[in-house]
C-alpha cells in the first residue's frame, strides 16, 4: 500500500511515478493555459512590440518549467528508494535551473534587442553586448549548477579572481584599446570610408576599425595604424561630419587702387565657372567673397567656394587660382607684389639729441 496525495494506492512505486508525471503535466497544462490567457489580455492592451516577444517566449518555455516545478513539489510523495529519490530530485532541480537560466537569457536578449532598435550606440555594438550577456548568464548559471551539485565555489572563485587580476595587469594596454574600440563603434566619431585628420597631424581615409587599432590610409597611399586608445584621447577633425560637402577657402589680395566692386564681380564669375565645370565642385552653390584686411601692400579678401568632399578642394583651388590669374590680367586687376617701406635716419657728426633737434633727415625707400 502507498499513499499518494492522501489516497491509498496499492501499486508499485515504478507504476506510481509515471502517474505522478502525468498528473504534474496535466496540472502544468491548466496552469499554463490560465497564465498565458491572462498575459495575452495584458499584452493586447499595449502597443509596444517587446511585450509581444516576451509573450511568445513564454509560450515556448513556460509549460516545461511548470512541469518541472510541479514534479519538484509532488515527487516526495512517490515511494522511491532514498538514493533514487535524491537523484531524481537533483535531476529535476538542475532541469528547472537550466530552463530558468535559458528563459532569463532569452528574455534579456529580447530586452537588449528592443533597446538596439531605439538607441544607435547600443545597436552599433549589439554583437559585443549580446555576447557579454550570454557569457554573464552562462557563468552565473554554471555557478548555480555547481553549487546545486555540492561543489564548493570558493576555490574556483579565488582562482578565477587571482587569474583575472593577473591577466588584467598583463593586458592593461590591450584591454584599454579593446574598450576604446567599443566606444568608437558605439559613439561613431569616425567610420570606415570617412576622411579624418588626427591631432598629431596624420590625415586620410579610415580603412578599418578593429578591436585594438584603427587604420588610416593617407593620400600618398601609406597606412597609419593608430591604437584605439590614442584615437579616443586625441582631437579628431572629421571632414565627413555633419556633411561631406565643405567650404573651400582661397585667400586673395588686390592693389589698393582696384575697384572693389569690379573685383568682387569678376572673382564671383570665375568662382561660379569653376564650380560648374571642375569635377568635385558644387554647381548650385553661389560663391561669395569677404574683404577682411588692409594689408601692407594689398586689400585682402577670402573667396568661399564649395566642394563635394575634402579631397576635391585641391583641384578646385588649383583651377580657381589659374583661371582667376588669367581673368585678372584681362580685366586689368593687379595682384601686387609685397612692398615694405623702411625709414632710415642719418645723423651728422657731433649730433646731440638736445642741441641738434630738428636737424635730422630721413630717406624713404620702398622695396
Q: Predicted confidence band at 77 (pLDDT cuts at 50, 70, 90)?
A: low
Q: Which residues contact 364 (CB under 8 A, 6 or more apart)?
A: 341, 342, 343
Domain around 190:
182-238
- Answer whether residue 336 is part of any domain: no
Task: Count structural domains, the chain.
Answer: 3
192 and 316 in a single domain? The answer is no
- Answer whether residue 73 is part of any domain: yes
- Answer whether residue 158 is part of any domain: no
The phi and psi torsions of 202 (rounded to 5 degrees) equal -65, 140
pLDDT for residue 366: 42
Contact assessment for residue 226 and residue 216, using Cβ atoms and an 8 Å cutoff: yes
Q: Which residues contact 73 (CB under 8 A, 6 or more apart)?
A: none
224 and 255 in a single domain? The answer is no
136 and 43 in a single domain? The answer is yes
Q: Predicted confidence band at 292 (pLDDT cuts at 50, 70, 90)?
A: very high
Cell numbers found for residue 167: 591577466
For 53, 106, 129, the CA distances from 49, given in Å and listed in that order, are 7, 15, 21
Residues in the chain: 367
- Answer whether residue 26 is part of any domain: yes
pLDDT for residue 364: 40
pLDDT tens-digit readout, 242-286: 889 999 999 999 999 999 999 999 999 999 999 999 999 999 999
- Answer whether residue 296 is part of any domain: yes
Q: Provide mean pLDDT across the span 47-59.
A: 78
The phi and psi torsions of 182 (rounded to 5 degrees) equal -60, -40
CATH number of the domain encompassing residue 231: 2.30.30.60
189 and 283 in a single domain? The answer is no
- Answer whether residue 96 is part of any domain: yes
36 and 71 in a single domain? The answer is yes
Which residue in 239, 128, 115, 121 sits closest to 184, CA to CA? 121
pLDDT for residue 286: 94
pLDDT for residue 79: 65
49 and 101 in a single domain? The answer is yes
- Answer whether residue 348 is part of any domain: no
Cell numbers found for residue 88: 531524481
Contact assessment for residue 309 and residue 280, using Cβ atoms and an 8 Å cutoff: yes
Contact assessment for residue 37 and residue 46, using Cβ atoms and an 8 Å cutoff: no
Which of 7-11, 81-85, 200-204 has the weakest average pLDDT?
7-11
- Answer whether residue 342 is part of any domain: no
Strand pairing category for 288-294 and 195-198: unpaired
Which of 150, 169, 193 is the last residue in one of the domains? 150
- pTM of the model as a whole: 0.59
pLDDT for residue 138: 81
The phi and psi torsions of 16 (rounded to 5 degrees) equal -70, -35
pLDDT for residue 170: 67
CATH number of the domain encompassing residue 279: 3.30.70.100
Buried/exposed 16-55: b ≥16 CB within 10 Å, e otherwise:
bbeebbebbeebbeebbeeebeebeeebeeeeeebbebbb
Amino acid at each position: 500500500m502507498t499513499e499518494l496525495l492522501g489516497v491509498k494506492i496499492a501499486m508499485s512505486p515504478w507504476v506510481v511515478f509515471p502517474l505522478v508525471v502525468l498528473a504534474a503535466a496535466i496540472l502544468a497544462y491548466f496552469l499554463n493555459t490560465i497564465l498565458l490567457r491572462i498575459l495575452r489580455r495584458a499584452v493586447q492592451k499595449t502597443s509596444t512590440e517587446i511585450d509581444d516577444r516576451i509573450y511568445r517566449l513564454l509560450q515556448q518555455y513556460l509549460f516545461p518549467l511548470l512541469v518541472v516545478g510541479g514534479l519538484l513539489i509532488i515527487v516526495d510523495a512517490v515511494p522511491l528508494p532514498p538514493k533514487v529519490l535524491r537523484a531524481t530530485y537533483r535531476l529535476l532541480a538542475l532541469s528547472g535551473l537550466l530552463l530558468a537560466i535559458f528563459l532569463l537569457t532569452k528574455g534579456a536578449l529580447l530586452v537588449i534587442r528592443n533597446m538596439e532598435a531605439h538607441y544607435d550606440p547600443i545597436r552599433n555594438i549589439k554583437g559585443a553586448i549580446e555576447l557579454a550577456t550570454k557569457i554573464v548568464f552562462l557563468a552565473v548559471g554554471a555557478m548555480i549548477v555547481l553549487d546545486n551539485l555540492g561543489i564548493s565555489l570558493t576555490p574556483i572563485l579565488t582562482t578565477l579572481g587571482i587569474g583575472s587580476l593577473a591577466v588584467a595587469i598583463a593586458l592593461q594596454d590591450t584591454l584599454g584599446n579593446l574598450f576604446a574600440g567599443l566606444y568608437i563603434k558605439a559613439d561613431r566619431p569616425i567610420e570606415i570610408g570617412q576622411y579624418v585628420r588626427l591631432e598629431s597631424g596624420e590625415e586620410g581615409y579610415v580603412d578599418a576599425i578593429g578591436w585594438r587599432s584603427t587604420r588610416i590610409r593617407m593620400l600618398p597611399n601609406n597606412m597609419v595604424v593608430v591604437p584605439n586608445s590614442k584615437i579616443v584621447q586625441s582631437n579628431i577633425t572629421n571632414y565627413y561630419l555633419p556633411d561631406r560637402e565643405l567650404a573651400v577657402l582661397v585667400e586673395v589680395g588686390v592693389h589698393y587702387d582696384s575697384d572693389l566692386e569690379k573685383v568682387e564681380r569678376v572673382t564671383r564669375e570665375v568662382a561660379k565657372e569653376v564650380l560648374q565645370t571642375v569635377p568635385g565642385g558644387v554647381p548650385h552653390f553661389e560663391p561669395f567673397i569677404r574683404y577682411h584686411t588692409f594689408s601692407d601692400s594689398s586689400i585682402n579678401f577670402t573667396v568661399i567656394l564649395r566642394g563635394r568632399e575634402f579631397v576635391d578642394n585641391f583641384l578646385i583651388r588649383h583651377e580657381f587660382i589659374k583661371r582667376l590669374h588669367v581673368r585678372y590680367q584681362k580685366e586689368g586687376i593687379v595682384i601686387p607684389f609685397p612692398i615694405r617701406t623702411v625709414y632710415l635716419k642719418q645723423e651728422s657728426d657731433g649730433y646731440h639729441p638736445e642741441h641738434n633737434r630738428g636737424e635730422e633727415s630721413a630717406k624713404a625707400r620702398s622695396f
